[in-house]
């Protein structure tokens, strides 16, 4: 009897056939609509089984032009495995319910996509929970928008199939075996496999009913309790472009090496000081607070030299592979470098970020490596409280809900770091080095000032709550003060800071900001909070250009009386305690102009970063470029196309947003438009009106901060009565400003302008601190009427 052929769905003898193609269609408004089509056919013992078809369509609209309405196009897979595109829009019901995002493309070039797959669950290499046909790059399931709570009815989506991008929804199931075939590979079917042997795991749940968020972010998403927790992977908007499809850094499409990161930094990002006429240095510094709260790549703190060395001790040689640590990816320094050649330096140390494979959490050769984040992914002030219970407990005083402080000279200072030599670059034992919820908090004086202000704000809130509710125990006071501080912080982020950088109109249009006095109930259980690699490793690093090399010390009359050279005080926070420097630096943050956000960076961070007394340091922009390659970020050209801009086929095609001068420099450095690093191309784009960024980074940041908001069940505007604020309390929280934080938590700050991120001017004058709106904490008094008659407590609520 002849042996029967094995069934065609047996994976061992099956081969995927993947075809990619572009299809053009005419559309109204902006003319041509282009669709990128990926069709996958499973071929088993001569049988062809249609597996998956994905269509991504977008118009070629640019800002100011009319958008083409989003469309979902009918697509079927024929028996022969070819994709059929009918001429009319698909009117049928979807096989799977679809994720709706109120925006994807700030240019109004809408995307529409839908995946067809078997009805089995799909395992996604990005580590999300299995979903039906999607979720690998950020969405663990597809669900329609949730019903609004009673106070706020969110607008219904105008297009049921408007997607952020097709990769998030469909191609998370695929490996990327090579850059030449970025969307090919084999989907994994079945349940998610168990972690590899040796992978550190932590079990979360069952989740306890609580009105407070956990320290480590667990149980924020009740269905997926581990989402957003520390030591989990970044998400991505586009698949990685590792040169081997697994982990080797990218190379040119020619097969040669990409231009050296230091060389690119020298040529394209020189030092040209141009003060920003509108925004203060606090704008730049608050951005570092946000990025530290959301992201820290495992394997580096970005503050101290690496323990492992990839260069010879004198910096002249890159160590051979048999002598260098396995994670080395040293930055080559040109022979004629304008600074380092004077000191015979040819090698800049660089260690690659830790990945899931390094941690033993994924097989080494099965799928692309993904970098890990060591802090919570939420905007939850983890830099104040820590990202794990042990750190949080060590920072608590254990009485009246307060955080630990040391009192010197009648002023509250953070507690000392447990290991000063590993944390700071102090020059004597008496020099302060602080302990915070984030290990990077001593990195520069202005960052440390903001960390101290947030620490003091927690204790100010806890003290006031204790006087209002003396029957509350330490835990209740701590949790309530923490909840209020996180709400203040989130409000400043979304209502005061982000509008500067990505534009108020963009935020309102795409669901990041609501003009309402009511609750906003936009929580999405199906949106993963994990920070986007593309955002943390490229887009948000653009704002390094706003750093000032000289930090002004400002008196109460807003006159500078001194300055600190930035590179003299990296990881040396003790200068803050000298004299009146705490207030002088705080006033400096609200008075000194930040540098223009542009392609120019101060040499204090491109030549002297972390120099620690040496005549040279490291180059932050070169590190940014190298880090993007380390993480395998797709090219700038890929992201242009993803965000709705035309894909460049020549360097001159970058001319829609990059100057001819910079295009000429790019062409001298790179062999192909497809080689240009994301952090490079995005940093050279001219800005979109009313923002401080170009179109590509704006696209990425809108995506990031939309996800960060809607994936957070505890976001401060929620109307969920079990975890939210009362209407009266929410009204008070919305009074929060960075200026109020400065007034309440400096040593003797007397005056501040209402908008601390904006320079002082006729419409933003200096005012007595009493004139800056403040939260009335009497609305937190338990079992009391919420009137205006609280005479017994008045003295506690004024500075």
**Residue 54 — very low, low, confident or very high, per pLDDT cuts 50/70/90?**
very low
C-alpha to C-alpha distance for 69 and 158, rounded to whole angstroms: 9
Q: What is the mean pLDDT of residues 654-675?
A: 98
**Between 449 and 28, residue with greater pLDDT:** 449
Q: What is the mean pLDDT of residues 589-593?
A: 98
Other beta carbons within 10 angstroms of residue 785's beta carbon come to 8
pLDDT at residue 303 in the model: 61
C-alpha to C-alpha distance for 477 and 518, rounded to whole angstroms: 26
Six token digits for residue 559: 């006159």
pLDDT at residue 160 in the model: 28
pLDDT in tens, 221-275: 999 999 999 999 999 999 999 999 999 999 999 999 999 999 999 999 999 999 9
C-alpha to C-alpha distance for 470 and 466, rounded to whole angstroms: 5
**Residue 489 — very low, low, confident or very high, per pLDDT cuts 50/70/90?**
very high
pLDDT surpassing 80 at residue 11: no
pLDDT at residue 23 in the model: 52
Contact 356, 233 (CB under 8 A): yes
pLDDT surpassing 80 at residue 412: yes
Q: Is residue 44 part of a domain?
A: yes
C-alpha to C-alpha distance for 71 and 57, rounded to whole angstroms: 8
Distance of CA 50 to the CA centre of its chain: 37
pLDDT at residue 319 in the model: 84
Six token digits for residue 606: 């491109």
Range of the domain at 29: 1-193
C-alpha to C-alpha distance for 172 and 167, rounded to whole angstroms: 6
Other beta carbons within 10 angstroms of residue 547's beta carbon come to 23
Burial grade of 556 (CB within 10 A; 0-12, 13-18, 19 or more): middle
pLDDT surpassing 60 at residue 15: no
Half-sphere exposure of 489 (CA within 13 A, CB side): 27
Mean per-residue pLDDT over the chain, rounded: 80
Contact 512, 267 (CB under 8 A): no
pLDDT surpassing 80 at residue 302: no
Phi, psi dihedral angles at 624 (to 5 degrees): -60, -45
Contact 740, 774 (CB under 8 A): yes
Model-level pTM greater than 0.85?
Answer: no
The least confident of 101-110, 248-257, 600-609 is: 101-110
pLDDT at residue 749 in the model: 97
Q: Is residue 456 part of a domain?
A: no
Catalytic residues: 292
Paired with 21 in beta bridges are 37
The least confident of 238-242, 269-273, 333-337, 795-799 is: 795-799
pLDDT surpassing 60 at residue 363: yes
**Between 83 and 622, residue with greater pLDDT:** 622
pLDDT surpassing 60 at residue 522: yes
Q: Is residue 495 part of a domain?
A: no
Query: 559 to each of 100, 554, 556, 563, 588, how far by Cα in Å?
Result: 51, 5, 7, 12, 9
pLDDT surpassing 90 at residue 354: yes
Q: What is the mean pLDDT of residues 286-304?
A: 87
Residue where the block lists tokens 């984040």: 373
Query: What would the DSSP string read from start to end of 118-169?
Result: -SS-EE-TT-PPPBSS--TTSBSS--PPPPP-TT--PPPPS-TT--S-HHHH
pLDDT at residue 727 in the model: 98
pLDDT at residue 109 in the model: 30
Nearest to residue 537, comparing CAs of 425, 697, 304?
697
**Residue 204 — very low, low, confident or very high, per pLDDT cuts 50/70/90?**
confident
pLDDT at residue 179 in the model: 28
pLDDT surpassing 60 at residue 66: no
Q: What is the mean pLDDT of residues 566-571?
A: 97
pLDDT at residue 324 in the model: 80
Task: Give the Cα-Cα-Cα angle 314, 679, 348 (nearest 5 degrees).
Answer: 5
C-alpha to C-alpha distance for 500 and 497, rounded to whole angstroms: 6
Residue where the block lists tokens 């934080």: 741
First to last CA, the chain: 93
Nearest to residue 395, comparing CAs of 266, 482, 325, 465?
482
Six token digits for residue 240: 């990685």
Residue where the block lists tokens 């402080």: 405
Pairing of strands 188-189, 122-123: antiparallel
Q: Is residue 97 part of a domain?
A: yes
DSSP helix/strand/coil, 278 = strand
Task: Give the Cα-Cα-Cα angle 233, 238, 244 (nearest 5 degrees).
Answer: 80
Domains in the chain, number: 1
**Between 672 and 17, residue with greater pLDDT:** 672
Q: What is the mean pLDDT of residues 164-173?
A: 29
Q: What is the mean pLDDT of residues 749-757?
A: 98
**Residue 320 — very low, low, confident or very high, per pLDDT cuts 50/70/90?**
confident
* C-alpha R_g of the chain: 27
Residue where the block lists tokens 């009192």: 407
Half-sphere exposure of 157 (CA within 13 A, CB side): 21
Q: What is the mean pLDDT of residues 597-626?
A: 97
Nearest to residue 500, comparing CAs of 688, 653, 337, 669?
688
DSSP helix/strand/coil, 679 = helix
Q: Is residue 21 part of a domain?
A: yes
Q: What percent helix, strand, coil does the chain show, rounded to 5?
A: 30, 15, 55
C-alpha to C-alpha distance for 349 and 306, rounded to whole angstroms: 8
Is 795 annotated to bind a ligand? Reply is no
Which range among 18-32, 148-162, 472-486 has the greatest average pLDDT? Answer: 472-486
Q: Is residue 439 part of a domain?
A: no
Q: Is residue 678 part of a domain?
A: no
Q: Is residue 231 part of a domain?
A: no
Other beta carbons within 10 angstroms of residue 191's beta carbon come to 10
DSSP category for residue 617: -
C-alpha to C-alpha distance for 601 and 252, rounded to whole angstroms: 26
Pairing of strands 47-59, 115-116: antiparallel
**Residue 41 — very low, low, confident or very high, per pLDDT cuts 50/70/90?**
low
pLDDT in tens, 690-728: 999 999 999 999 999 999 999 999 999 999 999 999 999
Q: What is the mean pLDDT of residues 659-668?
A: 98
Q: What is the mean pLDDT of residues 359-374?
A: 90
pLDDT at residue 451 in the model: 98
């Amino acid at each position: 009897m002849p042996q029967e052929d094995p069934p065609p769905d047996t994976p061992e003898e099956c081969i995927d056939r993947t075809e990619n193609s572009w299809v053009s269609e005419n559309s109204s408004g902006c003319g041509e609509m282009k669709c990128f089509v990926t069709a996958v056919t499973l071929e088993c013992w001569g049988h062809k089984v249609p597996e998956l078809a994905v269509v991504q369509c977008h118009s070629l609209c640019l800002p100011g032009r009319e958008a083409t309405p989003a469309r979902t196009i009918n697509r079927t897979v024929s028996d022969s495995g070819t994709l059929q595109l009918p001429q009319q829009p698909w009117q049928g019901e979807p096989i799977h319910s679809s994720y709706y995002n109120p925006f994807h493309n700030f240019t109004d070039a809408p995307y529409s996509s839908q995946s067809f797959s078997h009805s089995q669950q799909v395992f996604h290499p990005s580590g999300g929970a299995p979903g039906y046909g999607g979720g690998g790059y950020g969405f663990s399931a597809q669900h329609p928008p949730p019903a609004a709570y009673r106070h706020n009815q969110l607008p219904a989506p105008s297009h049921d199939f408007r997607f952020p991008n097709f990769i998030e929804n469909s191609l998370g199931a695929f490996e990327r075996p090579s850059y030449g075939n970025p969307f090919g590979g084999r989907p994994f079917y079945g349940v998610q496999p168990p972690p590899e042997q040796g992978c550190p795991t932590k079990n979360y749940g069952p989740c306890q009913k609580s009105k407070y968020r956990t320290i480590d972010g667990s149980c924020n998403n009740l269905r997926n309790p581990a989402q957003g927790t520390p030591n989990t992977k970044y998400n991505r908007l586009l698949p990685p472009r590792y040169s081997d499809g697994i982990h080797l850094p990218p190379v040119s499409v020619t097969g040669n090496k990409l231009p050296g990161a230091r060389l690119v930094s020298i040529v394209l990002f020189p030092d040209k000081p141009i003060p920003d006429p509108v925004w203060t240095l606090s704008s730049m510094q608050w951005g570092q607070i946000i990025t530290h709260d959301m992201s820290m790549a495992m394997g580096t703190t970005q503050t101290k030299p690496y323990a492992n060395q990839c260069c010879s001790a004198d910096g002249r040689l890159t160590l051979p592979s048999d002598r260098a640590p396995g994670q080395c990816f040293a930055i080559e320094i040109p022979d004629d470098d304008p600074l380092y050649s004077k000191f015979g330096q040819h090698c800049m140390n660089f260690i690659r970020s830790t990945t899931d494979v390094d941690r033993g959490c994924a097989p080494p050769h099965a799928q692309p490596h993904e970098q890990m984040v060591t802090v919570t992914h939420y905007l939850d002030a983890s830099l104040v409280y820590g990202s794990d219970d042990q750190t949080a407990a060590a920072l608590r005083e254990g009485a009246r809900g307060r955080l630990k402080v040391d009192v010197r000279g009648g002023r509250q200072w953070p507690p000392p770091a447990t290991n000063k030599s590993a944390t700071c670059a102090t020059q004597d034992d008496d020099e302060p080095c602080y302990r915070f919820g984030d290990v990077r908090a001593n990195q520069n004086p202005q960052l440390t000032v903001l960390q101290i202000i947030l620490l003091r704000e927690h204790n100010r809130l806890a003290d006031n709550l204790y006087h209002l509710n003396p029957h509350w125990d330490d835990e209740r006071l701590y949790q309530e003060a923490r909840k209020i501080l996180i709400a203040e912080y989130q409000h400043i982020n979304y209502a005061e800071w982000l509008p500067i950088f990505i534009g108020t109109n963009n935020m309102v249009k795409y669901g990041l900001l609501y003009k309402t006095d009511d609750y906003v109930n936009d929580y999405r259980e199906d949106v993963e909070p994990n920070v986007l690699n593309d955002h943390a490793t490229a887009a948000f690093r653009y704002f390094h250009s706003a750093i000032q090399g000289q930090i002004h010390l400002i008196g109460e009359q807003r006159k500078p009386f001194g300055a600190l050279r930035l590179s003299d005080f990296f990881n040396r926070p003790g200068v803050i305690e000298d004299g009146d420097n705490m207030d002088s630096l705080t006033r400096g943050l609200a008075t000194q102009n930040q540098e223009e956000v542009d392609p120019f960076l101060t040499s204090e961070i491109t030549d002297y970063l972390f120099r620690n007394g040496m005549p040279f340091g490291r180059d932050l922009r070169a590190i940014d470029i190298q880090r993007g390659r380390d993480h395998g970020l797709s090219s700038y050209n890929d992201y242009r196309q993803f965000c709705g801009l035309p894909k460049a086929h020549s360097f001159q095609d970058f001319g829609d947003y990059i100057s001819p001068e910079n295009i000429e420099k790019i062409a001298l450095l790179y062999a192909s438009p497809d080689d240009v690093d994301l952090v490079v191309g995005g940093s050279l784009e001219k800005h979109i009106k009313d923002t401080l960024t170009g179109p590509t980074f704006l696209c990425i940041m809108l995506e990031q901060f939309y996800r960060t908001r809607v994936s957070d069940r505890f976001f401060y505007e929620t109307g969920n009565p079990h975890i939210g604020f009362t209407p009266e309390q929410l009204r008070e929280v919305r009074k929060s400003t960075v200026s109020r934080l400065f007034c309440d938590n400096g040593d003797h700050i007397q005056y501040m302008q209402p908008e601390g991120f904006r320079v002082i001017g006729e419409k933003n004058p200096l005012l007595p601190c009493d004139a800056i709106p403040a939260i009335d904490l009497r609305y937190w008094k338990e079992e009391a009427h919420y009137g205006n008659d609280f005479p017994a407590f008045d003295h506690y609520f004024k500075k």
